[in-house]
Structure 1
Amino acid sequence: MGNATCGVPDCERQRHGRHQYCKLHYSRWVRNGHTDRVAVYRSACEIEGCGKPHLSRGMCPMHYRRWKFNGDPNVVRKVRDQGVCYADACPSKAESFGLCGLHYRRMRTYGSTDLPPREVAPCSVDACVTATVSLGLCNKHYRRLRAHGADGLTKGDPRVCGREGCDGPFYAQDLCRRHWSEGYRARNRVRIAQHSSRRRQRAGAGMTEQEIMEALEYRLLIAGGPCAYCGSPSDTVDHIEAVHVGGTDRWTNLAAACQSCNSSKKTKSPLEFMLWRLSRSEGARRVDSARQPSGAV
């Protein structure tokens, strides 16, 4: 035990356990039968003009990386100086190999920064050309299938309101929308009152007494007039700029509206709401024309 160094000449490492060699020379002795270093034969890179030893797939490390991230071992793509992803029209910051995280994952998965073309079949419901999501149905019809079953795909839920004497269409909890809303308001009177109070405070913030009186007089003036959006008789007063986005109760922000338009408008501006109505009407016309027979006049 006096000599604790490796038994190989010119090696000053400590011995490995009870053996006369250090860990390095002991592993060589176990693997090769002697302590000399054995040269590992490695074939050359298959790329023309490159004599470097190969790493994988017959290519050296350099050409292998080029093939892995560019799809071609002879293509060299340099990262821009400002560190921006080199994929076409991508302003994101480069994270790895000159690519952003999204295009890097695509390159690792598909061998290219572009998504491979994917064929998507249309919805199996007649006159619906929307792409399928699951079970051969688009997102809308898939939700209908989950909620109402196969009978509700095209006509909605065939059930009617469970309240005696009411034939309204089913909405929730075996009730139509009107009776369900009545029950909800009855169960949440305090919550609805608190919400209305907070809404009135937001809408009337910063208004003087004169402005409040002007708003009340204007409400009485436009009551029962035509709807500002569709022209039908109005039964509500709409905030042109919604209270949720900062609108107030001043008379300049009030307009007569029917219940349907008031509910559909939500937080949209008048221009956004009219464009939305126009797009829905054009979509309905396209569906109607698609459902008509080709020979119909």
Structure 2
Amino acid sequence: MVQTAVAGNDTGLPMKELAKRHGLRAAGALPSLPAYVRQLWAYRHFTGAYANAKVSSSLGNTRLGMIWQVLTPLLNAAVYFLIFGVILAGSKEMDNFIAYLCTGVFVFGYTQSVVQNGVQSITGNLGLIRALHFPRASLPLAVVLVEARNLIASMAVLITIVLITGEPVTVEWLLMVPALMLQTIFNTGLAMLTARLGSKIVDFKQLVPFIMRIWMYCSAVLYNVQQFEKRLDGWTLRLVEANPMLVFIELMRHALMENVPLAGSPTRLWVQSIIWAVIVGIGGFVYFWRGEKGYGRG
């Protein structure tokens, strides 16, 4: 006969207090925010390897492969220039409309790709989530890493376009680096925000293309930003000019182009970009962390 011994609690303490005394916690409990950050750092190699695998799998079956990372924004810019620059005569309203338009398309495309892929970073990896233990923030973070890598090639093409269209190289070009770093922080928070929303609201990813299209039209990507001043004033103008994507696009235009009209002074744009990066970057991460226990559950 086999006897099974069951350990009892003979200390007289409640089970929760006893577990706390011995450093035990409930299985699947939400880690503290600092502990979660440490976990995410510990899994940084996994995140990088997963991002590399995503790049290979997404373009490995095409003939042009990585070239599509550059061709896609170029083709978009060509189509928009034909419609807004030639047909609607937007190029007559300002000098170097090509560089102006391409800057908006490339910068907005960075955030657009992060959102479109981030929204399904959880729902598209349920098998991985249920099979392995790792901080789930690794998935939207990998999305940002992939798109940041794509951005490097895109920026090389954008700089070439800006030079060909006659813009001089100035010391202000160095401002591209902090501007893109702030946008990347913003994008990281946005990826985590949309990842959790996409995991909780099944149909949210169907709305994302419409949301991004409206956002693009409100960000002066395709037309002169001075159109806002002609049609709006007061608090409505200030609200539109505080649009984070408009802010990041304007910072990039200010860095790459001379005598370009802006939605505000460079100082105000930098302050706004820092505020947006902090609010969305930290807020999106905290919001995602709060839902850590629920990802992958049916």
Interval containing the TM-score (normalised by the shorter chain): under 0.3
The structure with higher relative contact order (CA 8 Å, sep 6+) is 2
What's the TM-score once normalised by structure 2's chain length? Answer: 0.20
Which one has a larger percent helix, Structure 1 or Structure 2? 2
What's the TM-score once normalised by structure 1's chain length? Answer: 0.20
**Which protein shows a greater Rg?**
1
